[in-house]
Amino acid sequence: MRSSILLLLVLSGYASAHSWTPTYPTFSTSYIDNVLETDMLLFNKRTDVTYFEVQVTDKDFNALPFVSSSRIYKVDYLERKKIKIYIREESLQEVTYICSKSRFLEQVIPANLVTSRICSKLK
């Protein structure tokens, strides 16, 4: 006799999304030598998600070192946040994607089964 398996069922029915722009960011010199910076804009339209992780990857989506004010940002519903990304000048050739990914708190059971990630690409 096995206990019943709880099946998660939540029909969202409403539009929940986040956007990550610009699509093709460009790095420029910063006030620090050999460090480049770029600005990204995160807009959260998801009511069920408030934390987003920023990632900088190569073309195979392997993580690369970068600096920003935080790795995980708290962006409330309908809030826009400008995020400044700093990388080393020598990493510019490797950097291909700058991504934002929705994250859930451990103690919060995900309301749905979809994690969204949007990646901008350096040209």
Partner 1 sequence: MFRKFLVCAVFSASVYAENVPINGTVEGNCIVVPDVSGVYGNPSSDKLSTAVTDGGVLPVVRYDVVLADYYKAVITTPTSFSESPALDDTVAWSGSAAVSEVSDAGMSSYDTDKIEYNSTTEFDLTIAGSTWFEMESAAEYGYDKPFPGGNYAANVEANCIAK
Task: Single out the segment in contact with partner 1 by CB under 8 A; choices: 21-29, 32-40, 71-79, 80-88.
Answer: 21-29
The long-range contacts involving 31-37, CB below 8 angstroms and separated by at least 24 positions, are 32/86, 34/88, 34/89, 34/90, 35/86, 35/87, 35/88, 35/89, 36/86, 36/87, 36/88, 36/89, 36/92, 37/84, 37/85, 37/86, 37/87
Q: Is 117 in the site for partner 1 (CB under 8 A)?
A: yes
Cβ nearer to partner 1, comparing 23 with 69: 23
22 binds partner 1 (CB under 8 A): yes
Binding site for partner 1 (CB under 8 A): 2-13, 15-24, 45-46, 97, 99, 109-121
